[in-house]
Amino acid sequence: MLFFFRNMKLRFLIFIPLALLMALPFFTIGQNAEKIYDLFPPISGPLYLSGSFGEIRTNSFHGGIDIRTGGKIGAKVFASESGYISRIRVGGTGFGKAIYIQHPQGITTVYAHLNHFSQRIDEFVKEYQYRQKSFEVDIYLKPNDIKVKRGEQIAISGNSGSSGGPHLHYEVRQTDEQIPVNPAFSNLPITDTIAPVVNAAWIYPLDSTSIIDTKSKKKELLVQAKGSGYIVKDTIKAIGPVGLGIKAYDFLSGGSLRCGVYSISMEVNGNSVYHFNVNRFSFSEVRYANSHIDFEERQLTGKRIHRLFLDPNNRFSGYNGVVNGGQINVEKDSLYNIIIVVADAYGNKTNMSVSIKGVHPNGLQANVEHPRDTQVFPYWLFYEENVLTHELFSVKMPSNALYNNISFSYGVSDRIPTSFSHVIHVHNRFTPVHKAYDLSIRCDSLPEKYQKKALICSIGEDGKIEAVGGWYSNGMVEANPNFFGNFTVMADTVPPKVTPLNISNGKDMGKEKSIRFQVEDDLSGIAGITGTIDGQWALFEHDPKNKLVFYEFDAKRLTSNGKHSLQLTVVDQKGNAKIFSCNFNW
């Protein structure tokens, strides 16, 4: 693998084997370490972060860094190195508008949530969109299509796609495998002299013999600051296999916001038993974040707790040197002095110490709450395909869709208003799922006229109904959810709602820069939007999070000083369509 270094005015090449990059220990990365990548900053000035590489996101490890743009749209975005644009994506969700630049050094840089591209890139994309008659495009380019130079402006930052606020999402990937790597390997102007913070910890019983201070359930520990680190002051009394978890964050210098940590290590009585870091990972691994964290606590309180022990089917590549899955087997009359080291990607570290004393089981009589329900549930092994067939529904999970073995629970309750099936309770929402599975629900009460409109919906704890999707087949509606919860069958027969925001029939639009609509759907979601002006396809952009559809007047493609006819067709996922038509002057 080829990497590029820049040292003052001297530029030279150096070869670094991929194996060396993968083997770099966490303490060699960061502000005081050698920088493998020489990158031109994608934004001018010091870079302040609102999100770090590898931090925990919903169902994912974060594959890049989020660079702040002052809470505004409009920062100039620059190419980090010379190369060619290998891919351009435009869509209403995900990255929104994004540019991928392939560099001869064996890396690709990615710039996402853009507001718009530079003029020559923007025109290239528009020509493609008009040929395809589609706002959403995914364009793969050839090396000679659009070349860029180091430091060349390529875009303006924005808030497109699934972005939660204006910023630049930035990635560095290894080109051959498209694997994201930590941008801390670079010379980007990010300053961090602040050590991570540990503000909470938990201890978990890991089997039926585990007892923690007379109870067989997890316990939150009191974490206190001591010097430059943290301690759990009171010695924990326990017996049997236990695991630890911590809530930790990193605060960078300057105007950065709270970010995730880079690595966590644990020693027990001087022996290393656990190490986790986010040097690099493939996108096929990101969902293991749900196994890494205390998923139940995340669902209940939103807290992101790093568990320092592994589920048997957690195959995330960021673990190494993990002994016995990270669990601590506490034996009577033994003392376990534990040191946890949390580091950021810039060389700053924080220590936390905790002690566990093993006591005789007779001295810790567990207060166990026995379930009242005597129903026997099937025991599902994570490495096998698991199937349950019930007269009202069926569940089929592929092998390795679970992170651990479970006693699979299920239930049925009466249907809710407007539904066409019973409510099916599939295990519980506190158990994460790694792969989508097959769910089929019987719906004998569904009228034939609604069969093509039927879909499976989830019912949240607050009663909120959300579409999962699906199709009707032989008296059942089938779908492929990737989470457990409560489900029922509903039918979407209502077309989307289209509300014009700045246009009406006969209006003079000469002073307007765009035509805007509010577009929303009450169940299955928007599937497609097609707009025409004077009978010709026109580029209407869709911003789902803001329920916005808009057309920016384009003098190259629309004749000015004349009367025009507009038609906007919005279709939902079940084929229900709403058409808006009017005439306007421009």
Percent of the chain topping pLDDT 90:
88
Banded model confidence at residue 95, pLDDT cuts 50, 70, 90: very high
- 363-369: long-range pairs with CB below 8 Å, 24+: 363/237, 364/211, 364/213, 364/214, 364/237, 364/238, 364/239, 365/211, 365/214, 366/211, 366/214, 366/215, 366/216, 367/214, 367/215, 367/216, 368/216
CA 481 from centroid of its chain's CA atoms: 16
Asked if the model's pLDDT at residue 27 lies above 70, the reply is no
Q: Which amino acid, residue 582?
A: C
Domains observed in the chain: 24-185 (2.70.70.10), 197-363 (no CATH), 379-491 (2.60.220.30), 497-585 (2.60.40.3780)
> What is the arithmetic mean of pLDDT over 123-146?
98
Note the pLDDT tens digit of each residue in 215-242: 999 999 999 999 999 999 999 999 999 9
HSE value, Cβ hemisphere, 13 Å, CA-based, for 154? 33
- pLDDT score at 37: 85
- pLDDT score at 438: 98
Query: Is 469 in a helix, a strand, or coil?
Result: strand
User: Contact, 160 vs 114, CB < 8 A?
Assistant: yes
Asked if the model's pLDDT at residue 28 lies above 80, the reply is no
Query: Is 184 in a helix, a strand, or coil?
Result: helix
- pLDDT score at 370: 46
User: Contact, 113 vs 160, CB < 8 A?
Assistant: yes
Note the pLDDT tens digit of each residue in 314-352: 999 999 999 999 999 999 999 999 999 999 999 999 999
Residue 54 to residues 182, 259, 262, 279, 344, Cα–Cα distance (Å): 8, 10, 7, 8, 11
User: Contact, 503 vs 584, CB < 8 A?
Assistant: yes
> What is the arithmetic mean of pLDDT over 366-394?
81
Query: Is 52 in a helix, a strand, or coil?
Result: coil
Note the pLDDT tens digit of each residue in 169-212: 999 999 999 999 999 889 999 999 999 999 999 999 999 999 99
User: Distance between CA 542 and CA 489 in Å, rounded?
Assistant: 28
> What is the arithmetic mean of pLDDT over 24-31?
39
